[in-house]
Structure 1
């Protein structure tokens, strides 16, 4: 029996139709469910020699980690944490890039009942102060790569709750830093599941992660121990991870997306995960890894597909690749079409947030992608499109994407518990039986959803509501455009007009003739009223540390 069958009752291939999946998909969630014990350790007992992770370092070194290894090392890490005084309910910050140590630490914290707080190595001292204060961090485990420990030490005087700090890579990082690897290597490998008050409940906080923070400070999203169960749909039904396969999702462990594609759902499917600890993304490098390691299922943001397509994809042996997915931002139809021509494979899109798991997608084999569409609501999520009064809108009408969630007790597995220590933001986003995503879309006559943009990004011009994504998709079809961001700027007659901020592809130079050419291209590709009346060429677009375009920064610059 594949691990997920215990919790949903049927094998993936036993669902005959999409209607069957919608009607009969449900998750059994025991009151004491804990992924580390009930999935990872069970796999380690049943299949100790089965590959759990193939890890490749940036220097080309390889490490093959079995499920038996994962249990042993997570036990040792749990014992090390416990010896340092980490206990149930403590918050531990993990800044580990793509190191395999992240998985040891995460599983160990799950076993203890401590709360894992993921963060990226790109943080500055100011960012560390905010996160440590917001979460009440007790211990920080920081990568020895780069200047992360130095930046953390700059923040330390204002991080009053931090009692312990450990560094990886056996790096001498200065006063007070513990050698994390030496500590876990010396710890015993036997660990007993706690009982009584120290035992975990499914309603306990499992992890917290910070939202991207495109406007203001990022919010702290809290998920409980039921969260991994929400990713059965992600890994088993969307990624189509297979027991004998090797799944590769491109994500740093500083982001919750790493749990979407490098952890829970894939191991429910008993698939191995591929982890490549690179420093900077290069299309040719990723294509080489797909070919060399015979990756079978793959997921990456649309931007990364776009950069890979700048290479000669046909020169790489991708014959092992069976299934491709994307998430993180809306997928331009042009990227979909180019990838299909280059590889013969469709890209299956998915939509979700830090606050959710996969809530809208194209689920193979029942739902085939429609280029540009987000797909259909995934089973278990009561996804609706509503107006500003919370009423469902008709097909073709743009509204906000909301998820039905009457209360924390009745919410779908995968929806967050709330924003930690921020009841005001929780109530603003989650009220009247709906969680409000802040994203807008419309539904067509067949039920497929089409992304429009964030609520704050919608441009209202001459009575029209224009979503940036549709204009950016049109621009993406022109060879001169590497990437773009579409915003609105004030206009005395139209209220706002559409502006395109564009990064040009190699070989193109800004000029008035190119501006006119791009404007005419958009008029021909989409509704003419959506064309950008203002065009600005830039060397790079402002982005969050997670790589999302900060349209708010462009709007603020234009207003000033």
Structure 2
């Protein structure tokens, strides 16, 4: 029988093989049966604390097994999880707690001071407060009280459309939006992920991505549960030990974001870089210029995907030649979805023409199946996103004559210079190839003549300085590898770039960093620094 909720998927996996190791973290190896006992204890604990179906509980935790126990403990009782980005400070945390109307909070000692300040700032009252991995103030010690409860749990009725979580976007352009997710959202994505990749019970998926993010929830966790596989968690991505972690956990698949391949390609080559069973990487944003060299060096296949917190997982290439390596191709939409490319007036554009990607479900009776319910408490934003019956992703793509889709850039990251559309990601990828460049971000700067100009922020690798690597050298590199109108006019060196915990550059922070974005930059046109 097809699962109707997340609980069904979990319990089916436990019943199939309770003694099989499911969760690997550090030196811990936790079987399905052990995990189920911890989850049931957690569910009974929440009920004893007065949490009921429909209530919301916020989690501010690093990657750890306890996140899984708490998440699925809430699932079992029909409550809703509200993960909080562990990069958030008190203002952002206060907003999440107020907006979601969370009744309880779970955090580690590292994050409770932030939560406490958030509560004071927002005058927030939380009915229950628990601490994982230690003690803090008068919070309840989760591990200690959990053991007081029965490891058997009598389930409650849960439906496909019941609320399962509110997942907040990163809020790069304002307050984070709360995406209201159902059990169905998790089921559609997890099932499609596991079947598309032909995962089996023998597969192990390792992810360094934070569990507060949709990716490890709906893909790594749900996907492995669907097939009875195993999940390996790491606290975060460490470039120097990443491949050792993959080997030690005997992973068959790993998850990445674009920043990871770029960083790993920058590490010194080792004789054993490719000496291992062939691995499959699943992710998005690998720079086009290093996609194939990365695969060849490390004996891996990188499959580009497309998905969003709002839409779930919608595209993923297969490990076949026609995936068009090095072109930012994420192939064709899954059978559960329909896609098209439109202009600013929602008119579909011809093949090979760039435009915005819009999506909807393929079921005529429910075009939003597998998508979020909507933005919580923001019906206007929901209606705007779903205008004309299609979800507007905000991503600029193109589609070839075979129906494959290619990522161009975020719509807000397209630079309009003298009538030309310039992809910030293309410029970034080219500059990133320079051997002295560690990281780069490109943004538009307003210009009275050309509408916008291109500005590049540069982080140099260790051992390089502005003296040893003058800006003119980087400009020459860009001029050799880019069309003239794409070469940045403004260049600024910086120690680091602001990023989210998933590695996405916070370009909005760069755009708001100063009133005049040309100040502190080298002006390529005038050949001088602007003070």
TM-score, with structure 2 as normaliser: 0.91
Unmatched 5+ residue regions in structure 2? 517-531
Q: Which deviations, in whole Å up to 9, do the C-alpha atoms of 1:516-553 show, x marking residues without a partner?
A: 33333333333332111211111111223443212222
**2:339 is equivalent to residue 377 of structure 1:** no
Map 1:217-232 onto structure 2 (within 5 A).
217-232=175-190
Q: Which deviations, in whole Å up to 9, do the C-alpha atoms of 1:128-167 show, x marking residues without a partner?
A: 21111000010111123x2x11221122233535211000
**2:315 is equivalent to residue 360 of structure 1:** yes
| Deviation of the 1:316 alpha carbon | 5.0
Partner of residue 127, structure 2: 163
- Whole-Å Cα distance in 1 between the matches of residues 35 and 135 of structure 2? 27
- Whole-Å Cα distance in 2 between the matches of residues 405 and 71 of structure 1? 33
Q: Secondary structure at the match of 1:277?
A: coil
Q: Secondary structure at the match of 1:153?
A: helix
| Deviation of the 1:505 alpha carbon | 1.7
| Deviation of the 1:490 alpha carbon | 2.1
**2:11 is equivalent to residue 41 of structure 1:** yes
Q: Secondary structure at the match of 1:41?
A: helix
- Whole-Å Cα distance in 1 between the matches of residues 478 and 400 of structure 2? 22
**2:458 is equivalent to residue 497 of structure 1:** no
Q: Structure 1 365/53 Cα, relative in aligned 2: closer, same or farther at 3 Å?
A: farther
**2:28 is equivalent to residue 63 of structure 1:** yes
- Whole-Å Cα distance in 1 between the matches of residues 322 and 11 of structure 2? 34
Partner of residue 59, structure 1: none
- Whole-Å Cα distance in 2 between the matches of residues 406 and 324 of structure 1? 27
**2:425 is equivalent to residue 469 of structure 1:** yes
Number of matched pairs: 513
Partner of residue 394, structure 1: 350
Q: Structure 1 343/101 Cα, relative in aligned 2: closer, same or farther at 3 Å?
A: same
Q: Which deviations, in whole Å up to 9, do the C-alpha atoms of 1:440-467 show, x marking residues without a partner?
A: 1122333332222222221111110111
Q: Please say if residues 326 and 349 of structure 1, whose CA atoms lie closer than 8 Å, have aligned partners that are also in contact.
A: yes
Q: Which deviations, in whole Å up to 9, do the C-alpha atoms of 1:392-446 show, x marking residues without a partner?
A: 1112221111102599961354311100111111112112111111111122333
Q: Please say if residues 384 and 404 of structure 1, whose CA atoms lie closer than 8 Å, have aligned partners that are also in contact.
A: no
Partner of residue 79, structure 2: 114
- Whole-Å Cα distance in 2 between the matches of residues 269 and 120 of structure 1? 29
**2:58 is equivalent to residue 93 of structure 1:** yes
Q: Which has the higher contact order (CA 8 A, sep 6+)?
A: 1
**2:310 is equivalent to residue 348 of structure 1:** no
- Whole-Å Cα distance in 2 between the matches of residues 250 and 189 of structure 1? 29
Map 1:136-151 onto structure 2 (within 5 A).
136-144=101-109, 146=110, 148-151=111-114
Q: Structure 1 159/244 Cα, relative in aligned 2: closer, same or farther at 3 Å?
A: farther
TM-score, with structure 1 as normaliser: 0.86
Map 1:479-518 onto structure 2 (within 5 A).
479-510=435-466, 514-518=470-474
Partner of residue 520, structure 2: none
Query: Which has the larger displacement, 394-403 or 511-520?
Result: 511-520
Q: Secondary structure at the match of 1:359?
A: strand
Q: Which deviations, in whole Å up to 9, do the C-alpha atoms of 1:83-109 show, x marking residues without a partner?
A: 000000000001121110111111111
Q: Which deviations, in whole Å up to 9, do the C-alpha atoms of 1:450-494 show, x marking residues without a partner?
A: 222222221111110111011111112221221111112122322
Q: Please say if residues 351 and 401 of structure 2, whose CA atoms lie closer than 8 Å, have aligned partners that are also in contact.
A: yes
Query: Which has the larger displacement, 483-492 or 503-512?
Result: 503-512
- Whole-Å Cα distance in 1 between the matches of residues 407 and 54 of structure 2? 38
Q: Structure 1 370/317 Cα, relative in aligned 2: closer, same or farther at 3 Å?
A: closer
Query: Which has the larger displacement, 179-188 or 358-367?
Result: 358-367
Q: Please say if residues 312 and 370 of structure 2, whose CA atoms lie closer than 8 Å, have aligned partners that are also in contact.
A: yes
| Deviation of the 1:515 alpha carbon | 2.7
Q: Please say if residues 235 and 266 of structure 1, whose CA atoms lie closer than 8 Å, have aligned partners that are also in contact.
A: no
Q: Please say if residues 95 and 142 of structure 1, whose CA atoms lie closer than 8 Å, have aligned partners that are also in contact.
A: yes
Q: Which deviations, in whole Å up to 9, do the C-alpha atoms of 1:161-219 show, x marking residues without a partner?
A: 521100012x23112x111111211100111122xxxx222111111111011101110
Q: Structure 1 188/249 Cα, relative in aligned 2: closer, same or farther at 3 Å?
A: same
- Whole-Å Cα distance in 1 between the matches of residues 454 and 341 of structure 2? 25
Q: Please say if residues 489 and 559 of structure 1, whose CA atoms lie closer than 8 Å, have aligned partners that are also in contact.
A: no
| Deviation of the 1:269 alpha carbon | 2.4
Q: Please say if residues 475 and 481 of structure 1, whose CA atoms lie closer than 8 Å, have aligned partners that are also in contact.
A: yes
Q: Secondary structure at the match of 2:384?
A: helix
Partner of residue 15, structure 1: none
Q: Please say if residues 274 and 297 of structure 2, whose CA atoms lie closer than 8 Å, have aligned partners that are also in contact.
A: no
Partner of residue 303, structure 1: 259
Partner of residue 281, structure 2: 324
**2:315 is equivalent to residue 315 of structure 1:** no
**2:240 is equivalent to residue 270 of structure 1:** no
| Deviation of the 1:367 alpha carbon | 4.8
- Whole-Å Cα distance in 2 between the matches of residues 260 and 349 of structure 1? 16
C-alpha RMSD of matched pairs (Å): 2.3
